[in-house]
Amino acid sequence: MRLGWRSLTARWAVRTIITGTQADADELLATGATLADGVADAEFTAYGEHPGIICRAYRGQLRCLRGFLDDAARLAETAVERARMVYSPFVLAWSLIVAAQTHLFRRDACAAERAAREAITLSREHGLPQWMAFGQQCLGLVLCQQADWRAGIELQREAMDSLHAAGSLLHTTRFQLHLAESFLAIGDVDQTRLHLNAAFAHLQTHGEAYLASELHLVKLKLLKAEGAPKEALKSPIQMGLDIARRQGAHLLELRLAAWTAGMWRELGMSEEAHDLLAPIYGWFTEGFDTPDLREAKALIDELGGAACP
């Protein structure tokens, strides 16, 4: 019973992440890892998982969304290293999938590809259909980031079909979101709208709110691509920022603010754009070599110069 409580702590923490309660989830995951460290690895065999590994893996993903990008990478890799030591293909595939997702959030396509491909190979060898689907989805995103759009979109679609065929709907909001992003990148607004609407619907039905602000960002990009007037963009901007701030998802807040600042610069609103983005960027204490922070800093520098008389 005592060991089961540790596993329950890990599962409850993961549920807390999915619903977007970031600060609470961070504390729960840290507690779960500490509790699990007090028990021998072999004691968890009967549960089919290892709370210490799973808590570290998901805490890496969570810390990434919260804006601790270097810590996120360390936690993701630590979880994988520990999973290799417990000799469980299921736990190793699980940790590799979460690591791949974390690297994708950090926009590190190379690290994400390595983790996803290993997870796919492991899942194929040991008959793990759910992890196979998640691995394919991650690899599909990597292919899109490498501009292999056709193969990347097809693999993402195959992954979502496989996930649903395995009887799971978990993370469908994210799957639909990334398909919407991918179709928007190649200019297919009809498919973008289809998958974006499906993502919003799944969020509402199942409460998968951890990427809610990203949904509003894709909505904004779609509206702009369709030539919507700037007044139509105000509400999605504010809603997305409010959600990210409420969740403590500083990385997602930065992304939305950077996109908004770039749009405002195009409209001649450089001072307003700088005032929005600079304080959000100033919150960060690490991860300055990651693409999101590099791009935000470059934009802030441009806006600062444009705002000077």
Query: What pTM does this model have?
Result: 0.91
Per-residue pLDDT tens over the stretch 110-161: 999 999 999 999 999 999 999 999 999 999 999 999 999 999 999 999 999 9
Give the range of the structural domain holding residue 22, as residue numbers without chain letter: 2-168
- Within a domain: 190: no
Tell me which of 168, 192, 219 is where a domain ends: 168
Per-residue pLDDT tens over the stretch 35-59: 776 776 665 665 567 778 989 999 9
Per-residue pLDDT tens over the stretch 212-264: 999 999 999 999 999 999 899 999 999 999 999 999 999 999 999 999 999 99
Tell me which of 117, 142, 168 is where a domain ends: 168
Tell me: do 18 and 154 sit in the same domain: yes
Of 183, 153, 184, the C-alpha closest to 259 is 184
- Within a domain: 208: no
Tell me: do 268 and 157 sit in the same domain: no
Tell me how many domains the chain contains.
Answer: 2
